[in-house]
Chains A and B, each alone.
Chain A
């Protein structure tokens, strides 16, 4: 199984979970059907024309119907965003396999899960809505609730216990490490340049190679650069995890982010940045580190609020071997690789586990707050949205591309604060993909259907699709695809003593052949030729053995034949040896030489010759020897 991401966009259908009692949210009117029927008004609330489920947010799990997940042997994780559904898989499906991931992936993935669990668990909600999921009722609901897919499979968030159990099933791997899977294939993680520890995977046998390219980046940000060279010579390249906003250039977006941030703060407003506790935030802090002094913002406090803020900032500094070259060299100076260390030291950046406690004492405005969750449905961000939403001086800047910012904002309407959308997605765009594919030259590319056509809203943008030759094979949800290669060869090892006994004969310059008699031993998808057992000593018993009991290697070895029989010459030879009345017939597969007088047939085909005579052994042997004259023996 390649990755197991969690679809969190389902949470956008739910009301936010406020940290502090919110009169506005608790007083939202219940929703009733057009005919006035209000039986759902406890479960569904209406806000500015949108309907939300008033319940603990639920997540959409990976497809579980298509295959029995208990039969999955291995899960390969490519980055920490792509493992958020792991506890659902490992704890509730009978999964007994192994999960492979790099160390930063596991550590930061744990932080993301921990934050998620914390966000949800610290605001217990008494009510759990389920009536609306009834298919007959769902049909009556307004969009987008009406169109939500597989709502019956939506699940509440996992617990920390489940997270720990899931993570214990992960085996840590390093870049370029070769991992044997049951002898059948070898898998290798490669740096993908997208996040700390993010990987692409190579799955290869001796004769076939499949590359799995997930979230990858060619930009120079903090992680180790993408390893492209190792992706060469792939039979199939599975391409996923491209940028979600192909029209937004990350550099331009960072510029836009800084400009809007400065403009707001200079006007005395506050800036709210809903974000994950790891990833782009490191780069944003680095940009701000360079920018704030020049923009005259040195006196503005930056707050990073997350239950895992401290761990995230510290972890980033210790994963030196997973960082880009520049940052790695800093470690040897020794300096912290990320400049946020200095921001913290100089008190420009302060971090808190939550808005409760120290933060409320230190809080000074105007300020910039980085906090989660980017969906705006849970986490400390909900509090700041409620707090700052009423003033047009304040600005919320969306940098994470995972959620539609308009949908995220829907339960906060009407909203006076300014909203800026600067999605920073450093993953590959289509120009980079076509360069990559030209460089790597896989025989076949397999990718989601969405990548093979321009985005629906910009159907003329032919530049916003994967363009390769031969055209990419595309797949859609729940589609079963046969990858375009066949396993034709297997590698077989020969034991040294057997190899010693071989006597090759050169049949063509540069090509030698040898006959082998051996026992093929197959275990764990490994094949070994071993020397045959020694012939049994003659027992001297009186009882004759049946021929079929003879072990084959006790027989006298017959020579192997090669070459072809030129029919004309063969006929001449026959005539020389006294055969007359010879007739040759052409058949589909070769020739039949008919010795009419002797009532004998010689059937000559590409790979066989048959002499059919009427119980005349002497004649057969004579003819056989004539045939053999034309063939080589070894």
Chain B
């Protein structure tokens, strides 16, 4: 702790202990706790307490029954918890059982119990109950009472305490605690209805994740019991949690997986037109659950399906996911759910009709199912199912009833399926079926790009950009795209009224033109007017668009073009980059300026080679490069940016100049002192810029002057300063303590005024 803080601390402790001086702001206390955490993390808590007796006094003061605000009490207890986290320090608390007697109920008690349970001598060989300190025994008795209680809130409270306990404490003593309390927890599961189901699930998962407790076979029995006693909706999170565990009994995993699969299995059963249809759960259980376990209300049914889909979606990519993974029936289920949602399923059963009525038009389920379907693209599926997948995705993309969010998900899922359908894996060509779909996709895309809803146009453009990035060089894709109106529509969307759409159109135009897919616009009415190249069009956006998003997108495209050697740029990079840098340097949006500097850095790297072991550039190349940089007025931009009021711009510029400096002055080379060009006027200009007078131009710069200025500047120091966050002064603990004392001081003054 720095001395200034140490000086302020006693006064602050006095303020906190004084009930007449309320601390108005909870966030101050939170920040204070964060700071103490950092301080105790860095050194010994014991030492801290010894050096600052005011802290101990504060703790003892709070223990006395008095009229303290609950926020101060809670703060002090948490502070005590922080100190107590270090074993050697627990002596300051432990002997005072009055704490638990005095504070009898509510939230406060829960915190106190938590604190007490964290405390008892860590590291001993599983202490028996009779070895526990008196306060711990009291805590446990209290928890037992709660767990036996008929009042659900008390049960919930106890379960929360235990969840936190087992989640944070991994000492061997927790085994004893669990051994003692688990019969009570198991008894909760025998009640009908099971009280506090969510808290119970949390507790079981917390215990199951504990390395100390997960070896207890009783735990798995309780978990199995919970899976069978809880409703499907309540059991879902438990099942998903169990399946994510690295190590747990296979039988339990099977049971848990069944819970997650049940809703989907029900959907498949309900839609089945006859025997032979794909099934998720075989055997009697599959038939049994068919109708009656599915919730009767629409919202419950939707909630159950959505959570099952979300859990399965998260499980799919995990290495510990259940094996064998029923890929084909899951695919069939996802497709069927989507069919129910858009009304195209034609079930013959009564359960199917009921499901149809509940799901038709349900956007929530549509989104969840499309996400899940997208994730399933990671696995293989029988060709007929893949055909069905593309068919339903197309239905969603075509349907006017698809909401913008559903449409976006449909686009994303389609892209994932297209990516996965490349044959053979890793090959960039689309498989024949996907090529067939492509034609229909582009027709849909055409229409979607004309949608009156901007979100739809935007997701259409994003989809196009991603498709082009992947298949822009591939023959069948190129042919299909050039045969459609899509490139022309994309170009027109550069003028869209919505800035997000313009930004996406910029990205799409960038991608299309880098693959040579943007044909010159046909203007039959003005055949003589020369057409703008994509480069000119994007430059126009950069210089004229009133919104930041499209301009940022333009900068990203230019950077990408330059980096990837896009033909129009590569034939004369300097010519192409100059106007872009000029526009970017004047831009009001700091992100555009950062992007401008990024573009400059790429340009530099192309001129001087990347930063590597042989850093210095050959003198001839360096001179040429510097001349080019002077011509595109990069230095004025970079030097000005050093003093940009937006820190990221200054940092980027500093990086850029450091790169240039490294290229220009190889380590070990002698510094030319004295006889260099006069840099005084430049330095004067820089000082004025630093002082905020940005209007002053720099004038023509010669390469030598630039080098001299670079050498004379302490860019490394500047980089370190910039690396500190701009509010580093305001965020210091010293400032916090001062602020708190100042606030209290003001309150005190007001109080005096009143008298």
Question: A and B from one assembly?
Answer: yes
CB-CB nearest in chain A for B489: A266
Residue of B357, B456, B496 near A462 (CB, 8 A) is B357
Residue of A249, A263, A460, A463 near B450 (CB, 8 A) is A263
A463: B residues at CB distance < 8 A: 356-357, 360
Decide if B356 touches A462 in the complex (CB within 8 Å). Answer: yes
Known: A252-B401, A267-B485. A462 touches B353 (CB 8 A): yes
Which of A253-261, A401-409, A500-508 is found at the contact surface with chain B?
A253-261
Map CB proximity to B onto A260-300 as digits: 1 under 8 Å, 0 otherwise.
10110011000000000000000000010011011110000
A263: B residues at CB distance < 8 A: 446-447, 450, 485, 489
Decide if A295 touches B356 in the complex (CB within 8 Å). Answer: no
Separation of A253 and B343 alpha carbons in the complex (Å): 17
CB of B345 closer than 8 Å to a CB of A = yes
B450: A residues at CB distance < 8 A: 258-260, 262-263, 266, 295
B497: A residues at CB distance < 8 A: 293-294
Map CB proximity to A onto B334-347 as digits: 1 under 8 Å, 0 otherwise.
00000000010111
A410: B residues at CB distance < 8 A: none
Residue of A247, A255, A296 near B452 (CB, 8 A) is A255
Separation of A336 and B677 alpha carbons in the complex (Å): 72
CB of A422 closer than 8 Å to a CB of B = yes
Separation of A293 and B345 alpha carbons in the complex (Å): 40
Decide if B485 touches A266 in the complex (CB within 8 Å). Answer: yes
B456: A residues at CB distance < 8 A: 255
CB of B448 closer than 8 Å to a CB of A = yes
CB of A461 closer than 8 Å to a CB of B = yes
CB of A458 closer than 8 Å to a CB of B = yes
Considering only CB atoms and an 8 Å cut-off, how many residues of chain A contact the other chain? Answer: 28
Separation of A249 and B488 alpha carbons in the complex (Å): 30
Decide if B447 touches A296 in the complex (CB within 8 Å). Answer: no
Find the residue from A258, A266, A460 having the highest chain B CB count within 10 A: A460
B400: A residues at CB distance < 8 A: 248-249, 252-253, 255-256, 422
CB of B492 closer than 8 Å to a CB of A = yes
Separation of A254 and B497 alpha carbons in the complex (Å): 19
A260: B residues at CB distance < 8 A: 447, 450
Decide if A460 touches B352 in the complex (CB within 8 Å). Answer: yes
Find the residue from A253, A290, A291, A462 having the highest chain B CB count within 10 A: A462
Separation of A258 and B448 alpha carbons in the complex (Å): 10
Separation of A492 and B489 alpha carbons in the complex (Å): 75
Separation of A529 and B352 alpha carbons in the complex (Å): 63
Decide if B360 touches A461 in the complex (CB within 8 Å). Answer: yes
- The B-contacting residues of A in range 223-249, CB under 8 angstroms, are 247-249
CB of B289 closer than 8 Å to a CB of A = no
CB of B354 closer than 8 Å to a CB of A = yes
CB of B712 closer than 8 Å to a CB of A = no
The bracket for how many chain B residues form the interface is 20 to 34
CB proximity of B213 to chain A, nearest CB, Å: 49
CB-CB nearest in chain B for A431: B361
CB of B151 closer than 8 Å to a CB of A = no
CB-CB nearest in chain B for A265: B450
CB of B101 closer than 8 Å to a CB of A = no
Decide if B448 touches A259 in the complex (CB within 8 Å). Answer: yes
B360: A residues at CB distance < 8 A: 461, 463
A267: B residues at CB distance < 8 A: 485
CB proximity of B279 to chain A, nearest CB, Å: 21
CB of B126 closer than 8 Å to a CB of A = no
CB proximity of A78 to chain B, nearest CB, Å: 28
CB-CB nearest in chain B for A422: B400
Map CB proximity to B onto A189-233 as digits: 1 under 8 Å, 0 otherwise.
000000000000000000000000000000000000000000000
B488: A residues at CB distance < 8 A: 266
CB proximity of B267 to chain A, nearest CB, Å: 14
- The A-contacting residues of B in range 433-460, CB under 8 angstroms, are 446-448, 450-453, 456
Map CB proximity to B onto A521-542 as digits: 1 under 8 Å, 0 otherwise.
0000000000000000000000
Find the residue from B353, B452, B485, B496 having the highest chain A CB count within 10 A: B452
A252: B residues at CB distance < 8 A: 399-401
CB of B495 closer than 8 Å to a CB of A = yes
Separation of A267 and B522 alpha carbons in the complex (Å): 10
A249: B residues at CB distance < 8 A: 400-401
Decide if B356 touches A461 in the complex (CB within 8 Å). Answer: yes
Known: A253-B400, A460-B356, A462-B357. A295 touches B447 (CB 8 A): no
Known: A249-B401, A255-B400, A255-B453. A460 touches B489 (CB 8 A): no
Decide if B447 touches A259 in the complex (CB within 8 Å). Answer: yes
- The A-contacting residues of B in range 339-389, CB under 8 angstroms, are 343, 345-348, 352-354, 356-357, 360
Residue of A248, A253, A296, A458 near B492 (CB, 8 A) is A296
B352: A residues at CB distance < 8 A: 460
Decide if B452 touches A458 in the complex (CB within 8 Å). Answer: no
Map CB proximity to B onto A453-472 as digits: 1 under 8 Å, 0 otherwise.
00000101111000000000
CB-CB nearest in chain A for B488: A266
Map CB proximity to A onto B447-491 as digits: 1 under 8 Å, 0 otherwise.
110111100100000000000000000000000000001001100
CB proximity of A578 to chain B, nearest CB, Å: 73
A287: B residues at CB distance < 8 A: 452
CB proximity of B567 to chain A, nearest CB, Å: 28
Sampled A-B contacts (23; CB under 8 Å): A248-B400, A255-B400, A256-B400, A258-B451, A259-B451, A259-B452, A262-B450, A263-B447, A263-B450, A266-B489, A287-B452, A294-B452, A294-B498, A295-B452, A296-B495, A422-B400, A458-B346, A460-B353, A461-B356, A461-B357, A462-B357, A463-B356, A463-B357
* Residues of B in contact with A (beta carbons under 8 Å apart): 343, 345-348, 352-354, 356-357, 360, 399-401, 446-448, 450-453, 456, 485, 488-489, 492, 495-498
- Other contacts beyond A256-B400, A460-B345, A460-B352: 5, CB < 8 A: A249-B401, A252-B400, A255-B452, A258-B451, A259-B448
